[in-house]
Amino acid sequence: MSPSSHHRRSGRSEHCPRWRRRAEARPDDILDAAEACFLEEGYAGATVERIARGAGISKGAVYLYFESKEAMLVALIRRSVAKLAEAAAARLDAQGQDEDPVTALREAGGLFRAVLADPHMFAAPRIVLAEAGRFPQLAEIYRREVIDVAMPAAVRLIRRGQEQGVFRAVDPQVAARSLIGGVLVQALWRSVFARDDEPAPDPEAFIETHLDIVLNGLCERKAA
């Protein structure tokens, strides 16, 4: 084997791992570009061409990973707030019959601090809230991926708390909506109604206050 052929072969082996790592990172590069484009241009104004430029690849390369803008938004939801919803639901459903349901509810609800604290976690709900009026399918996607995961688990925990005599005899579905709705309203406030000169509430303080209000209405007096 000649030195030149050995050099060429060695060059390929050295560059292949780096190329593979780059290819593996490409979906996240595309999603980062899509997130920025959706926030800046709106869902309707964003184009695959613009997203491709932001990711530093061709339009055709984008379609190797995502078939549409909607698929990108679903992926954005799944890599951020949907994971939190799954974690919260798992925590709620992991409660044993003898475990304090108040503690389980606080721990699960506390996971959503990240939605309010991390701009990237907050991006997907912000996009959906801003565009749901014109694109109702986006609201349905968010409901399927996030709300329909967390809500049933919250309802089940509230019912278990009622069976244990910890929670009052209220409608579990309505109570769960009050719990999750507060976080959604805060997200709506930040994306639509907030002023530049208005400081955003501390996520830790907001979640604690929200849970205290819900639990003080939900718990029996002896538990509260």
Query: What pLDDT was estimated at residue 7?
Result: 44
Instruction: Select the more confidently predicted residue: 61 or 3.
Output: 61
CATH 1.10.357.10 residue ranges for the chain: 80-218
Query: What pLDDT was estimated at residue 19?
Result: 38
CATH 1.10.10.60 residue ranges for the chain: 3-72
Instruction: Say how many CA atoms lie within 13 Å of 170 toward its Cβ.
Output: 21
**Domain spanning 3-72 has what CATH number?**
1.10.10.60
Q: Rounded mean pLDDT of 143-158?
A: 93
Query: What pLDDT was estimated at residue 17?
Result: 43
Task: Note the maximum CA span of the chain.
Answer: 86
pTM of the model: 0.76
**Residue 49 identity:** E
Contacts of 176 (CB under 8 A, 6+ apart): 151, 154, 155, 158
Q: Is 80-218 a domain of CATH 3.30.450.20?
A: no
Query: What pLDDT was estimated at residue 9?
Result: 44
